[in-house]
Amino acid sequence: MSAPRAQDSPAPPRLTFAFELRAKVGAPVEVGQVTHGRRRIVPIEGGTIKGPLLNGTVADGGADWQVIQQDGFTELDTRYTIKTAQGALVYVQNPGVRTAPPDVMQKLLAGQVVDPKLVYFRTQPKFETAAPDLQWLAKSLFVGVGERYPTEVVIKFFKVE
């Protein structure tokens, strides 16, 4: 069998739905204008993890450290802890981006409800755990597809096969 030619389209990797996160979020803490944009911190006040590959809860105490550009483009740096249904702890660092047309971003950042289909909200989570049976989390790549609501964030996590 010969190697594929450069002009052949490669098959994209398959994505497997792993679980959905639903996190309750508190009011943003506005730090203000910093070197790279407007800094704000959104506290995570607990939540749930449900899906075919993982179930559990999101611990209170995490946060999303955001930097927001003039046009509303938002860089996300979210960190929190999951406690699985079996009691194992998983540390999650979930950086990402969120953007939409300026009028939609203005409403979103003001805490108003917007149609999630109008917002590009993607994350690149990394997981750390000491649990032997959960090492697949740390040794796999995932993509998150998010939705932001006034008091909740919903992210569907997909494992890249």
Mean pLDDT by 10 residues, the chain (161 residues): 70 96 96 95 98 97 95 95 97 97 88 93 98 98 96 97 96
Q: Is 98 exposed, middle or buried (0-12, 13-18, 19+ CB in 10 A)?
A: buried
- What is the model's pLDDT at position 7? 72
Q: What is the pLDDT of residues 107-123, one digit of tens each?
A: 988 889 999 999 999 99
- What is the model's pLDDT at position 13? 95
- What is the model's pLDDT at position 109? 83
Token representation of residue 120: 């590009």
Map out the domains of the chain with their CATH numbers.
15-160 (2.40.160.20)
- What is the model's pLDDT at position 65? 97
Q: Output phi, psi for 138, to 5 deg.
A: -75, -20
What's the CA gap between 89 and 64, in Å, rounded?
Answer: 19
Where are any strands of DSSP class E within 87-151?
89-99, 120-123, 126-129, 141-149
- What is the model's pLDDT at position 110? 86
